[in-house]
Amino acid sequence: MCGIVGYAGRGCAAQELYSGLKKLEYRGYDSAGISTVCNGSLYTVKRSGRVEGLQSSLGCLAGSAGIGHTRWATHGEANDSNAHPHVCGRFALVHNGIIENYAELREELRAAGHTFLSQTDSEVIVRLIDSCYGGDILGAMRLACARLKGCWALAVLCAAFNGFAVARRGSPVIVGVGRDGCYAASDIYALAGRAHSYCVLGEGDMALVTAGGIQVFNGEGEEIFPPFERVTERFAEVGTDDCPHYMLKEIRENARTMRATCKKFLSSVDVCALSARLSSADKIVLVGCGTAYNAALAGARILGWACDCPVSACIAGEARYDPPSFTKNSVCIAVSQSGETADTLRAAEIARGAGACVIAVTNVGYSAVTRIAHTVLPVCAGAEVCVAATKSYIGQLVCLHLMAAGARIKERAECILKLADEVEKLASDGEYASTIAKLCARSRAVFFLGRGCDVEVAVEGSLKLKEVSYIFSDGYPAGELKHGTLALVDETVLSVVLVCDEGLADKCLNAVEQILSRRGRVAVITTLPRVAERLKGRVQAVWLLPPAPFHVACFLSATALQLIAYRTAVLLGRDPDKPRNLAKSVTVE
Ligand code: M6R
């Protein structure tokens, strides 16, 4: 959700910033821009489209300090004038976040004689800073920020200063020190290979960054000295290996994620304390957005079996305005790959404010959600670059399954580890996924159906397909079809039916018959040989997965659906790593 970078050092700022922006592009790819400062002048290049579009103009950007931005449009369409940096007087600014009172501020600034050059909310910030400036950059930023409502991560360049300043509230900023200079970025991966140590700025903090070092200040303007951590290998630059896209590479890392997450859980989580907390809870509420919410849905089912209290899943964006009535005995489980999703953070804060115990399930150990949570359950998926979440979802499922296992945790972990070998083989499948992808690509709409534990997987499979292929899709319980949606079924619609629970298989097959009788097309994914046998030749495709207990078959079926979504996107010529209109890590509301 917009990426910002800053650099001040001995190298060429334009090159440093360009390479940082390339790594942050997954956060938004509507437009990109860079400003540098050299001998008291600002230089700016910005345009709509991807970061690569800046490459030919890097030579115009003199200097060894600057800031850069890659945008996910919120206010104003994706064009050149709405691209960041925004410039006013001596200042250039890049922003990640949303300014909610920008309309009032814009009117006030217009009345004071400012002419706006963009439709963005961000432009008001640079104009406010310029109007507040009296020789002290941080002072001007502090005065300007005091007028803002919303959330922001800012990097600001001033013609009078050979460095840059950063500020944050609600959106992340990491600062780092390297051999050739000092850096700032929205995430640590942009600093990997360049900075040797880093620090995550605290809420409300600001920093002044020059080639010589980084000074950090708290919201009151007092200098503070937060600890810097070493940038370790796990943040190293990730490539696509031999895969054509990150999405495929990351699906192929599902098995590794299952093993690593199990290992970390068993070695680092105080299982007794966790079980005690869950068993004394008066209610357990899981919150998340998108794929993380779909993992929360699955978690609610399995925790519901294991715990005596009511367990539910809530979309975090809804929970923040209509929060469940938490007490000090309640548990809120915040599920988030990035740990920076604004809605999830707010829902977790509300739960914590009400005295509930907050447990974070996250892939990013230094993220904001870890600072809200009492307990962190690490997902060990490694960097997930593709905007569509795949391996992180699998890792979230591992954490939730282990959490729900209670005293049988060793047994559950063994079962998951055994399945990881099957997931590994499955992820290299080309045949079945391609057959079903061809059916999807020819369909007007695709429904994903299942019963019991297959329902949540179907819902996630549907989200995956729609986000990377742009085909309309929906996922829900197979038994619901006849209550309305069956009206949509005809020969242009495909239904992908998951059948992994022997106890519910015949009920699911009823739905298949209902679809076939309306000339609908069906693809079945099952772990049950007798189901595959019965449907072979009657439906368009049958994918028989390895056998698995129904409650953990999700690791196999989810992997299969991820592969189908990926293959469909590729068949339709979409970029699965950067789907249109989307960005990873949604740090605005
Ligand atoms: O970083 P988070 O897990 O909190 O992100 C939540 C959603 O924005 C995310 O899962 C989104 O739905 C993905 N694009 C799904 O593939």
Does the Cβ of 289 fall within 6 Å of ligand 1?
yes
Q: Are strands 174-178 and 181-185 parallel, antiparallel or unpaired?
A: antiparallel
Does the Cβ of 63 fall within 6 Å of ligand 1?
no
53 burial (CB, 10 Å; 0-12 / 13-18 / 19+) is middle
Q: Are strands 3-9 and 65-71 parallel, antiparallel or unpaired?
A: antiparallel
Residue of 189, 286, 341 to mutate, ligand 1, most atoms within 8 A of C-beta: 341
H or E stretch covering 144: helix 137-146
Give, using CA atoms, the residue closest to atom 7 of ligand 1.
Answer: 290
pLDDT of residue 524: 98
Does the Cβ of 585 fall within 6 Å of ligand 1?
yes
Residue of 251, 287, 289, 335 to mutate, ligand 1, most atoms within 8 A of C-beta: 289
Ligand 1 centre from 585 Cα, in Å?
Answer: 7
Q: Measure the CA–CA gap between 203 and 201, rounded to whole angstroms.
A: 7
pLDDT of residue 583: 84
Q: Measure the CA–CA gap between 315 and 418, rounded to whole angstroms.
A: 32
Does the Cβ of 373 fall within 6 Å of ligand 1?
no
pLDDT of residue 75: 87
Ligand 1 centre from 294 Cα, in Å?
Answer: 10
CB atoms near residue 517 (< 10 Å): 10
Ligand 1 centre from 260 Cα, in Å?
Answer: 21
Ligand 1 centre from 387 Cα, in Å?
Answer: 8
Give, using CA atoms, the residue closest to atom 16 of ligand 1.
Answer: 388
Q: Measure the CA–CA gap between 278 and 271, rounded to whole angstroms.
A: 10
From the candidates 2, 88, 380, 453, give the one annotated as an active-site residue. 2
Q: Which ligand 1 atom sits nearest the alpha carbon of residue 392? A: 3
The amino acid at residue 9 is G
Does the Cβ of 528 fall within 6 Å of ligand 1?
no
Q: Respond yes or no: is residue 584 known to be catalytic.
A: yes
Sheet holding 311-315, edge to edge: 311-315, 284-288, 331-336, 357-362, 375-378
3-state SS assignment for residue 186: coil
Q: Which ligand 1 atom sits nearest the alpha carbon of residue 289? A: 6
Ligand 1 centre from 379 Cα, in Å?
Answer: 14
Tens of pLDDT along the chain (589 residues) come to: 799 999 999 999 999 999 999 999 888 889 999 999 999 999 999 999 999 999 999 999 999 999 999 998 888 898 999 999 999 999 999 999 999 999 999 999 999 999 999 999 999 999 999 999 999 999 999 999 999 999 999 999 999 999 999 999 989 999 999 999 999 999 988 998 899 999 999 999 999 999 999 999 999 999 999 999 998 877 777 788 889 999 999 999 999 999 999 999 999 999 999 999 999 999 999 999 999 999 999 999 999 999 999 999 999 999 988 888 999 999 999 999 999 999 999 999 999 999 999 999 999 998 999 999 999 999 999 999 999 999 999 999 999 999 999 989 999 999 999 999 999 999 987 789 999 999 999 999 999 999 999 999 999 999 999 999 999 999 999 999 999 999 999 999 999 999 999 999 999 999 999 999 999 999 999 999 999 999 999 999 999 999 999 999 999 999 999 999 999 999 999 999 999 989 887 777 7
Q: Respond yes or no: is residue 507 known to be catalytic.
A: no
Q: Which ligand 1 atom sits nearest the alpha carbon of residue 338? A: 1
pLDDT of residue 495: 98
Q: Which ligand 1 atom sits nearest the alpha carbon of residue 344? A: 4
For each of the domains in the chain, give its residue range(s) and CATH number, in order of start: 3-235 (3.60.20.10), 243-427 (3.40.50.10490), 429-583 (3.40.50.10490)
Ligand 1 centre from 32 Cα, in Å?
Answer: 22
Give, using CA atoms, the residue closest to atom 9 of ligand 1.
Answer: 290
Sequence-distant (≥ 6) Cβ neighbours of residue 236 within 8 angstroms: 192, 193
CA atoms within 13 A on the CB side of 518: 19
Closest CA to 518 of 543, 542, 536, 492: 492
